[in-house]
């Protein structure tokens, strides 16, 4: 049972996260309006892949923070969701296929030097935030997933309308994440509610979520900046 004060906390948390979530970033607006070139989509997918590669690492750090086997059992599937249970399986492999369908060279995916410095800084800051945070803060930071399914749905609809040259199967990561992110966010929210037992802890959880949302935003700032600097072509040859 959720108490009245817990349900107020959930609302504050949700409002704070929503206000900073990167779905409203101008780069996403352009993406959803069909205004991005193929090169810009590739730039985004390559740089976002670096973020994806940080997820299993930060989730392993979260598992290591818990003294409770039942918590660890609940969290650990997130690592396999991205790493897969076999080669070519899992979220990272799906993202690689997406990036390559957008024209990213496979070698660039494994080259840290190919990632924009601002993106690397934001992603590495997220891992360091999780490494140094309490379990509550680290779990709260993951709650941007709460807003991910709506963004994924919007992205799927917009890509199928505006970027029809992208093969249907390349979008599989987005499809899979809609349901997984919903489940993961619901589970993480339960944990945050259970751990945030004082107003001060509620505040620390909210701050962690805001910091995480800001890091996602900063990644898009860096990508937008590189696109504006004409580091990638704005021409969009649909092959």
User: Can you tell me which of 42, 45, 79, 109 binds its own copies, judged by CB under 8 A?
Assistant: 79
Least distance (Å) between residue 163 CB and its own copies: 28
Least distance (Å) between residue 87 CB and its own copies: 6
Q: Half-sphere exposure of 99 toward its Cβ, with a 13 Å CA cutoff?
A: 22
Q: Which of 180, 12, 191, 213 is nearest to 82 (CA)?
A: 180
Contact between 83 and its own copies by CB under 8 A: the answer reads yes
Contact between 87 and its own copies by CB under 8 A: the answer reads yes
User: Can you tell me which of 80, 100, 150, 156 binds its own copies, judged by CB under 8 A?
Assistant: 80
Q: Can you tell me the distance from the alpha carbon of 155 to that of 171, in angstroms, rounded to the nearest whole number? A: 10
Cβ distance to its own copies smaller for residue 67 or 200: 67
User: Per-residue x/- mask for its own copies, residues 58 to 77, rule CB under 8 A?
Assistant: x-xx-xx--x-xx-xx--x-
Cβ distance to its own copies smaller for residue 17 or 56: 56
Q: How many CB atoms lie within 10 A of CB 96?
A: 19
Least distance (Å) between residue 179 CB and its own copies: 21
Tokens of 145: 């997933």
Spell out the residues 6+ positions from residue 52 whose beta carbon is closer than 8 angstroms to its own: 82, 91, 92, 95
Least distance (Å) between residue 69 CB and its own copies: 4
Say if residue 107 is exposed, middle or buried (CB neighbours under 10 Å; 0-12, 13-18, 19+): exposed
Alpha-carbon dihedral angle through residues 100, 50, 110, 238, given to the nearest 10 degrees = 20
Interface with its own copies by CB under 8 A: which residues? 53, 56-58, 60-61, 63-64, 67, 69-70, 72-73, 76, 79-80, 82-87, 90, 92
């Amino acid at each position: 049972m959720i108490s009245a004060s817990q349900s107020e906390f959930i609302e504050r948390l949700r409002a704070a996260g929503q206000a900073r979530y990167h779905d409203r970033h101008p780069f996403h607006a352009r993406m959803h309006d069909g205004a991005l070139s193929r090169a810009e989509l590739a730039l985004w997918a390559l740089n976002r892949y670096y973020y994806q590669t940080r997820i299993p690492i930060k989730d392993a750090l979260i598992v290591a923070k818990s003294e409770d086997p039942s918590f660890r059992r609940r969290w650990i599937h997130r690592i396999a969701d991205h790493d897969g249970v076999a080669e070519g399986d899992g979220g990272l492999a799906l993202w690689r296929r997406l990036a390559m369908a957008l024209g990213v060279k496979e070698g660039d995916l494994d080259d840290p030097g190919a990632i924009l410095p601002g993106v690397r800084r934001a992603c590495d800051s997220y891992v360091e935030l999780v490494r140094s945070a309490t379990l509550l803060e680290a779990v709260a930071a993951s709650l941007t997933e709460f807003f991910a399914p709506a963004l994924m749905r919007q992205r799927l609809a917009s890509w199928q309308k505006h970027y029809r040259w992208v093969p249907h199967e390349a979008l599989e990561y987005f499809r899979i994440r809609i349901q997984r992110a919903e489940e993961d966010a619901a589970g993480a929210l339960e944990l945050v509610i259970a751990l945030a037992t004082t107003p001060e802890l509620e505040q620390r959880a909210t701050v962690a979520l805001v910091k995480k949302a800001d890091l996602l935003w900063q990644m898009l700032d860096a990508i937008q900046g590189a696109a504006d600097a004409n580091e990638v072509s704005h021409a969009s040859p649909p092959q």
